[in-house]
Structure 1
């Protein structure tokens, strides 16, 4: 999501299936209609009782939206993800999943945790980068992809 659309991680976690406008033709571009951000906060540090808050987009008004073009490659990834992992009960695309015996189904729609996100990112770096690159700052955090996409 980051390298195809330069989204902030909290924007990607907030996307609902109805905010994804699919391409009108095969191989075409679609749109992401961003409406907010899902932010992990520590106990006692947020406005509510939980550790997750749904907020407005950064530097925008409460009801502001942001339309982001989605490349054909990103649309293909999203379509495959939605087919394999239907959205949660709240419509969010990226929610926690668990189940015995290898069965994974949507839970109550809680967003993917920072810990799970970080673990997946570390494993991806190990699989994709050489040992020297892994020791460097190259794509150290998922947010680094946003910086790379913006600079291009």
Structure 2
């Protein structure tokens, strides 16, 4: 909007959207060919890899989630009703659009041990003029999956406790959704962005507030994925839990994996197990 070049990912996303519209026009016989094929793609040097500086550590995550509960007045419960919303991103790697539509029926929350969230759909913000229902949020299947395919995500006992406490205090919306606004409707992106912005001011020192550390709610998902990778969870399993392909996980998070070199070296050394000179290996 200010005339400066857009980010590489923004340009690619806009071009994909425009190309989809043109292909649809060709299908409707409004155009005979795709003019975009004649326009050379400008290769961008930018990368979609996650910047490690956005990732929060365990102490910062605890401070941020606690600070969320202090946003807004006690009566309106603006922040308190969203603590679990951010928690499912940090502990289970959910996208905001997946957390928005999470229902009680999707949750297995035992009194002890690990639970499971079974995701069925997403509720991305599209705008009233672009949805069939006339609502701001559209309802779609899970990203990168067939329309009726679900995705079970195991969740640790700490998140189970957070969600059980949330249900005890706030209950659910009429359709069973866990997270709602004050009127019981879908949580808007502007709402969870504002609450997160205020929580950062409460939780972080001025120098960290000015940094990109945890600058977006989505950075909680990035932190979750990175935590799993650094814990040694296989990439294929991380990809299954968060709804990405292993290729995407490798590409996007390759700069965030650390502290495993010594462990990997020991595994390789054990596998080689070269016999001493003069002795045969049995």
Task: Give the alignment's TM-score, normalised by structure 1.
Answer: 0.87
2:203 and 2:148 map into 1 onto residues whose CA distance is 39
**How far is 1:47 from its partner?**
4.2
Per-residue deviation, residues 7-62 of structure 1 (Å, max 9, x unmatched) = 10111111100100012x42x11000001111111232334422111110101111
For 2:116, the equivalent position in structure 1 comes to 31
Per-residue deviation, residues 81-124 of structure 1 (Å, max 9, x unmatched) = 101111000001011224xxxxxxxx3xx211112111110121
For 1:16, the equivalent position in structure 2 comes to 103
Which range moved further: 53-62 or 43-52?
43-52
Alignment of 1:1-152 (within 5 A): 1-23=88-110, 25-26=111-112, 28-98=113-183, 107=184, 110-152=185-227
Check whether the contact 2:108–2:117 (CA below 8 A) recurs between aligned residues.
yes
More strand as a share of residues: 1
Q: Which runs of 5+ in 2 are unaligned?
A: 1-87, 228-282
How many residues are treated as equivalent by the alignment? Answer: 140
More helix as a share of residues: 2
Q: In angstroms, what is the RMSD of aligned CA positions?
A: 1.3
Check whether the contact 2:128–2:137 (CA below 8 A) recurs between aligned residues.
no
